[in-house]
Amino acid sequence: MAEIIEIAELAARLPPRVRLIGVDLGTKTIGLALSDVERRIASPLETIRRVKFTKDAERLVALVRKFEVGALVLGLPLNMDGSSGPRVQATRAFAGNLGALVDLPITYWDERLSTAAVTRSLIEQDVSRGKRAEVVDKLAAAYILQGALDRLARLAQG
């Protein structure tokens, strides 16, 4: 059974050379990103089209096993004022249900403006609307995961 922990506790408990998966949980899709084993760089992995929890979780668990993941970083969609709304409740419920399927620590990472930042960057690069829709979720997951990786690195420096 997974445990939901703070990022500082994750930093203290993570074994060396295990990857992390970043998760951008949307209502229609789940964007995924994967770290390298040194936990320095987050790379977009894939986008899961949401069907129902069991099927969605099956794919995520398969990737966790394939890449020998040590923890999950789940984007937490807080409101701009930092309060929790229905999407935060849905994210916490997803984490709780997923926790019954994976025996890995799960930590939350504030994802406010991650999709907006990624979309803005893609627009600046003149990426077409269709192509943006195809990649934005996994890029948002990479943005979320990179923030967590940077924080983990700072915590490791003391």
For 64-107, give the secondary structure using H, E and C. Answer: HHHCCEEEEEEEECCCCCCCCCHHHHHHHHHHHHHHCCCCCEEE
Q: Supply 80's token pair.
A: 């701009």
pLDDT at 115: 77
pLDDT, residue 99, reads 92
| Alpha helices per DSSP H over the chain | 7-13, 53-66, 86-99, 114-124, 129-157
The per-residue pLDDT for range 51-94, each reduced to its tens digit, is 999 999 999 999 999 999 999 999 999 988 888 889 999 999 99
pLDDT at 120 over 90: no
pLDDT tens-digit map of 22-53: 999 999 999 999 999 999 999 999 999 999 99
Q: What is the distance between the alpha carbons of residues 108 and 136, in angstroms, rounded to a whole number?
A: 20
Tell me the pTM. 0.92
Flag the least confident range among 12-16, 34-38, 154-158: 154-158
C-beta separation of 47 from 136 below 8 A? no
Tell me the Cα Rg of the chain: 15
pLDDT given at position 141: 95
Which amino acid is present at 57?
A: A
Query: Is-contact 40 46, C-beta < 8 A?
Result: no
